[in-house]
Amino acid sequence: MTNPKQFQLISNLDYERHLLGYWLCDASGKFYVLAPLPHDQFFYLEHVHIAEAVESLMEKGDLISPITVASWLKNLAILDGVGGLAYLESLVGKGTPVDSDVLFYRNELAELASIRIMALAGKDVFEMGDKSGVSQIMRSLLSDSMVMHQSSDSVSAHDVVSRILRDFGQKKHKRLAHSGLFALDELLYGFHPSSMYTIMARMSVGKTSLLSWIALQAANAGFSFSYVTAEMSPEALIERMLSTLSGVDLSTIMRGVDVMTEVELTKFYDAAQRLDALPIYFIYVKTTQIDDAIQALRREKIVHHTDIAGLDYLQLFSDKRAESHTVELDGISHKLKALTLELDIPLIAAIAANRGSVQEKRGVGVGDVRGSDSIGYDTDVMLALDDMDERMDSVGNVLPEGVKKVRVKVVKNRSGKTGEVICTFDGRYQRWSCEAQT
């Protein structure tokens, strides 16, 4: 009888080196976010350590490079064990990274990891035989491994249509974040992944307040909201949200607890506890560099599983590689649109309108974006906000001081309806409400 073939686990050294090299060649972590692979799915121990270092650096929001990874591994006293900085540098430069290449190596390595799981399960079944209680467990393990192994680089139209029809028949609806303004939500049908939304208004109309309101509504519904700001500090935004939740005047909160009544204090602390539990994460980009904001959002997608993001406001960000302000804003807009596709999230960006509409005594429109035409082209849905002179509410009462009417127009909707709604903004408590759709 011939001896059985020696048991070996399948692996691919070159594929692992290529994937790690691609991860290390982009400091922002773009290729890691595009094609992540858990460190325990690498076969070679050195690569397991390197992948784990990349994961850790991404979670901290640090840059990804051979030097930063080497520093991380050195702190763990395992740098020499992976071949030192020289080996990390050798991984980079194995070819110009292309998205499809990165995905290919990730998918191939994920499949090899699944095959190894099945192989180990099969080996255990062979060695354990029919021992009591073991057979059924191992058959279950093999079945689970087979499910994990099934993968494909593409999907046919037939498969997609079949899935849609099946889900439709079972009345399954994808859950989306909403604005909490019912008349507006009737036009938008929620905030859809891979879509760029813009809120355009002139100064002091309420674009930041509306973005903060949407963040609260989304988080209250359980959606993780990443709020990128270059205009207001997280503390200032938190004060607005506390006013919204508590019903305590924002000016009172800004002056401090010493001026609050006992009733206001009770409402304030109750609101603070509620806000503390909400999945809202602030990213304060003091540099105003758009690449820093993008890197932070990639990290948030991994660490806090971002469902929806907001950016306040777009024209405050810069791109040092642009030769003019117009080209700079165009590039920033393109990058943000690409990011929505990469992270598969809706992104809501506040943008400033020029003053031409005031001089011409008309409302804000798509052509009034300050400094860039590309923003209007890149955005999937654009909301335009205009103050109204009317001072009466729906039942004929004069609006209190600090309360105003705002016309919110959906001036562009790539896959839905346009129209307008009349909203009331109560600046005292940073609260929005809608009267009716027109």
Percentage of the chain exceeding pLDDT 90? 51
Regarding whether 203 and 78 lie in a shared domain, the answer is: no
Measured CA to CA in angstroms, residue 175 lies from 172, 178, 190, 221 at distances of: 9, 9, 9, 10
Q: How many CA atoms lie less than 13 Å away from 392 in the CB half-sphere?
A: 4
- Crossing angle of helices 234-246 and 262-276, in 10° steps, is 120
* Residue 318: DSSP 8-state: B
- Sorted by sequence, the CB contacts under 8 Å of residue 338 that are 6+ apart come out as none
Regarding whether 419 and 302 lie in a shared domain, the answer is: yes
pLDDT in tens, 314-339: 999 998 766 777 888 999 999 999 99
Domain CATH for 290: 3.40.50.300
Percentage of the chain exceeding pLDDT 70? 82
Burial grade of 60 (CB within 10 A; 0-12, 13-18, 19 or more): exposed
pLDDT higher than 50, residue 29: yes
1 belongs to a structural domain: no
Please report the pLDDT score of residue 204 as a whole number.
Answer: 86
Q: Note whether 291 and 328 are within 8 A (CB).
A: no
Residue 395 dihedral angles phi and psi, to the nearest 5°: -110, 10
Regarding whether 102 and 35 lie in a shared domain, the answer is: yes
pLDDT in tens, 82-138: 999 999 999 986 566 777 788 889 989 988 888 877 776 666 556 655 555 555 555
159 belongs to a structural domain: no
Q: Note whether 385 and 420 are within 8 A (CB).
A: no
Regarding whether 192 and 92 lie in a shared domain, the answer is: no
Q: How confident is the model at residue 152 (pLDDT cuts 50, 70, 90)?
A: very low
Q: Note whether 139 and 99 are within 8 A (CB).
A: no
Burial grade of 361 (CB within 10 A; 0-12, 13-18, 19 or more): exposed
Regarding whether 433 and 291 lie in a shared domain, the answer is: yes
CA pair distance 80, 350, nearest whole angstrom: 48
335 belongs to a structural domain: yes
Regarding whether 71 and 127 lie in a shared domain, the answer is: yes
Tell me the two tokens of residue 353: 């309108």
Name the one residue in this structure whose structure tokens are 């035409």. 373
Please report the pLDDT score of residue 436 as a whole number.
Answer: 56
- As a dihedral over the C-alpha atoms of residue 265, residue 267, residue 268, residue 269, rounded to 10 degrees, the angle is 90
173 belongs to a structural domain: no
219 belongs to a structural domain: yes
162 belongs to a structural domain: no
pLDDT higher than 80, residue 73: yes
Regarding whether 235 and 357 lie in a shared domain, the answer is: yes
Q: How many domains does the chain have?
A: 2
Domain CATH for 61: 1.10.860.10
Tell me the two tokens of residue 265: 């204090």
427 belongs to a structural domain: yes
Segment 137-144 mean pLDDT: 50
Regarding whether 385 and 262 lie in a shared domain, the answer is: yes
CA pair distance 376, 368, nearest whole angstrom: 9
Least trusted range by pLDDT, from 158-167, 287-296, 401-410: 158-167
2 belongs to a structural domain: no
With b meaning 16 or more CB within 10 Å and e meaning fewer, what string describes 266-287?
ebbeebeeebeebbbbbbebee
Parent domain of 59:
13-149
Q: Note whether 82 and 49 are within 8 A (CB).
A: yes
pLDDT higher than 80, residue 9: no
Regarding whether 399 and 292 lie in a shared domain, the answer is: yes
Q: Which helix (H) or strand (E) holds 404?
A: strand 403-413
Regarding whether 100 and 188 lie in a shared domain, the answer is: no
pLDDT higher than 90, residue 373: no
Regarding whether 201 and 144 lie in a shared domain, the answer is: no
Query: Around Cβ 222, how many Cβ atoms within 10 Å?
Result: 11
DSSP H helical ranges for 316-397: 325-343, 356-359, 374-378
pLDDT higher than 70, residue 223: yes
Strand segments (E) across 149-205 = 196-201
Regarding whether 233 and 123 lie in a shared domain, the answer is: no
pLDDT higher than 50, residue 149: no
